[in-house]
Amino acid sequence: MKKTPISKLFLYRYRFVIGYTVLGLAFALLLIGLPFVAQNGLSQAEIDSATSSYYLGKDGILNGDLVDLPYRVLQKYSITFFGLSAYAIKLPSIIIGLLLGFLLILLLNRWFKSNVSLLASCLIVLSTPFLFLAGSGTPLIMIVFWPTLLLWLGSKIQGEKRPKPSYSLIFTIAMLLSIFTPYMIYFAVFCVLFVAFQPHLRFIVKDLPKLMLGVIGILTISGIVLLAVNISHNPGAIMELLFAKDWQIGDFFGNIASGLAPVFSWHNSLESVFLSPLVSLPTFALALIGLLSTTKGFFASRNSIASILLVFCVVITGFNPSAVVFFILPFSILMAHGLKYLLEKWYGLFPENPYARISALVPLTILFGLMIVPGLLQYVNGYRYNPNVAGQFSDKLEVIRKNLNDETLLVTEDYDFYKILEASTGISVINQIDTDVSKIASLGKLTNSIDNCILDRIITSPMRDNSDIIYLYTFTEKLEGE
């Protein structure tokens, strides 16, 4: 009986299609169910982001409130449509996280062979920092999204002999939209300089049709004018876009130390919204191998881009410690370089021995198991049970939605945030007792100065600290409104 060559087998011929399909489905399902398996509540940054997004109005946009505008608009409509809930707040990040994950897969597939890009994609989209970013209801994910999109579009332009002018137009539009995200002005300037000094890209720009060059020029001028108008109406926006609110030059190195601490701390003793370490030791070692492998042929654009992005990550971390999440992009590229180097070295040892090549699957499987499985377990369990991290999140909103229906809720902190509940529930939210009430639910214990009320019940949460969330009171005499 004639043996079928392995290259003719269905699983071998379509191994990458099957691999990418399984990865895509697993990734999508994981992100959709993300809020149910990880962070037990909302961080203060998420509460502030939801409040800012919900109260975003036309007047604010016309007056120059354009920082992180695409994300805030998406979050506003998510909360308006689904009501104030943890899932509605996180949904924009989940959607953008799905797009970002697929963009990373496409980018790595453009720069590396399919076997390397598939393995590197698995490592990055299933890693703890990426899952945290996609499950956090803040615009922080946009710091990674825009550069990834621009790099992929740039790879489409650079990697073809005669690229379609539409890619250049989309690249320009994406870059103009990105400058309203903090620190992306620096990245836009870097892109312009890279095109100016890279001979191949400079030739592509010169070879574009005159009409397309004119359209790109008009769009660029329009974006600069819009940015100038934004800053003139809202002078504080320049600090937010270039540095951070209340940032001072003396904070720079302290912010770098604070931001990089979760990356290089191999134990979970830091009080932060980031689990430490952000990357496992095997992942860090693989990225380090990739970094060393890029020193040969460093000035090739694909080799040098990861190192340049690492420097960019350190700089913006000096402005805002949370911006350290940008390292996801250069780390994904460096991990792909590391995998490429290891596979080439292994195959170079046995160029004609197929059995030796196949035997590499065993150590690779062990290596990937040590990277992916502990990372997923760390993400799911760490954000729920690590006291230093779990304490950064509050489940007050979930407790309120589960236990209150049409009560009057008294809040003294984040009043504007909880006021949003009135739009989708029967809860009435107040910040002081000045209405005609007989019963009240209070976030926190009332002061002793109110002596005409009886404590009926305390509603708690599973959290270890500050678990007494809601105090239910009945007034022996109604308080007359002023």
Rounded to the nearest integer, the mean pLDDT of the chain is: 79
Question: Mean per-residue pLDDT for 446-469?
Answer: 73
User: Nearest CA to 79 among 137, 12, 157, 23?
Assistant: 137
pLDDT at 210: 73
pLDDT higher than 60, residue 2:
no
Handedness of CA 313, 314, 315, 318 (dihedral sign): positive
Sole residue written with tokens 């959709």: 32
Sorted by sequence, the CB contacts under 8 Å of residue 126 that are 6+ apart come out as: 26, 27, 30, 372, 375, 376
DSSP 209-243: -HHHHHHHHHHHHHHHHHHHHHHHH-THHHHHHHS
Enter the pTM of the model: 0.86
Of 295 and 306, more confident? 306
| Contact between 51 and 85 (Cβ < 8 Å) | no
Of 387 and 88, more confident? 88
The token pair that represents 355 in the structure block: 């059995």
Give the Cα separation of 327 and 284 in Å (integer). Answer: 12
Q: Alpha carbon 134 to chain centroid distance?
A: 5
Give the Cα separation of 108 and 101 in Å (integer). Answer: 11
Sole residue written with tokens 């695409």: 70
pLDDT higher than 90, residue 351:
no
In the chain, what is the greatest distance between 2 CA atoms, to the nearest angstrom? 96
Helix (H) or strand (E) holding 169: helix 165-178
The token pair that represents 253 in the structure block: 């190195």
- 3-class secondary-structure state, position 435: coil
Give the pLDDT confidence of 144-172 residue by residue, as tens digits.
999 999 888 888 877 666 667 777 788 88
The token pair that represents 344 in the structure block: 């080439």
Helix (H) or strand (E) holding 328: helix 328-349
| Contact between 53 and 116 (Cβ < 8 Å) | no
Q: Which of 83-87, 312-316, 445-449 has the lowest mean pLDDT?
A: 445-449
The token pair that represents 262 in the structure block: 């979760």
The token pair that represents 479 in the structure block: 């308080």
Give the Cα separation of 471 and 289 in Å (integer). Answer: 56
DSSP bridge partners of 408: 428
- 3-class secondary-structure state, position 451: coil
Contacts of 218-223 with C-beta under 8 Å, sequence gap 24+, read 219/169, 219/172, 219/173, 219/176, 220/172, 220/176, 222/176, 223/176, 223/179
Give the pLDDT confidence of 375-428 residue by residue, as tens digits.
788 887 878 777 778 778 888 888 888 888 888 888 888 888 988 988 888 788
Give the Cα separation of 12 and 232 in Å (integer). Answer: 60
